[in-house]
Amino acid sequence: MILIFIINKVVIVMGFWPTISNVPGRLITIDVNHLLSLGGSFCGLVPVSVNFVFGANGAIFVPFRIPRPLTVQSFSLQNGTAVAGNIDMGIYTPGGTRLVSTGSTAQAGISVTQTVAATATRFGPGLFYMALAMSNAATARILAQNFTPNDMAQMLGLATMAAAFPLPATAVFASVGVANLFVPQFGLTARSFV
């Protein structure tokens, strides 16, 4: 099923429960643009290199929904034109419980995809949040997409947290502020189960 919303002349396409292949052991990558996450919400938007707008030691939480269990293997982030400090990526339940994270890892590689291994953790099905926290917001850059209108972040279910580096065992989700109009390009790679 596909839902299409038009809000202030912006087309938002949302898919629900797209099929994950029934091939056992298949690798699945879910990023912020995947139909299991924000889907077509960024249609036509080109990612740009920006500073991490959620502040030093801040985090962003992006919802995604999976129809069957997966085992996470790694996380990836699109680094921008400068790298500095450390990153931490993970998965949370809607109640704010951390299921897995990469732990503090040096941001490395200018304008490349940085992949960080995670402890294999099986989770799902259901709603979850992929999280990204960064220790340096002044000079570290990532690729991100800008979205408008300002209230679109709340409509899509995004959340933030200050003082969240490294990612805490329990997150306290806060609304995304008007100034935080960028969604970083990051995601997870998992192995599917039938």
Least confident stretch, 20-24, 47-51, 128-132, 152-156 = 20-24
| Domains of the chain (ranges, CATH numbers) | 2-192 (2.60.120)
> Residue 43 pLDDT > 90, yes or no?
no
Half-sphere exposure of 124 (CA within 13 A, CB side): 24
Strand partners, 92: 98, 129
Q: What is the pLDDT of residues 83-124, one digit of tens each?
A: 999 999 999 999 999 999 999 999 999 999 999 999 999 999
What is the structure's pLDDT at 18?
Answer: 42
Q: What is the pLDDT of residues 141-162, one digit of tens each?
A: 999 987 665 567 777 888 999 9
Nearest C-alpha neighbor of 92 from the set 32, 168, 155, 37: 168
For residue 153, is it left (φ>0), alpha (ψ between -120 and 50) or beta?
alpha
Using the structure block, give the residue that is written with the tokens 């690798």: 27
Dist. CA 185–CA 157, nearest whole Å: 16
Half-sphere exposure of 110 (CA within 13 A, CB side): 4
The H-or-E segment that residue 51 falls in is strand 48-51
Q: Is 74 helix (H, G, I), strand (E, B) or coil?
A: strand
Dist. CA 15–CA 18, nearest whole Å: 7
Position 21 confidence tier, pLDDT thresholds 50, 70, 90: very low
Could you tell me what percent of the chain has a pLDDT over 70?
Answer: 79
Dist. CA 148–CA 180, nearest whole Å: 10
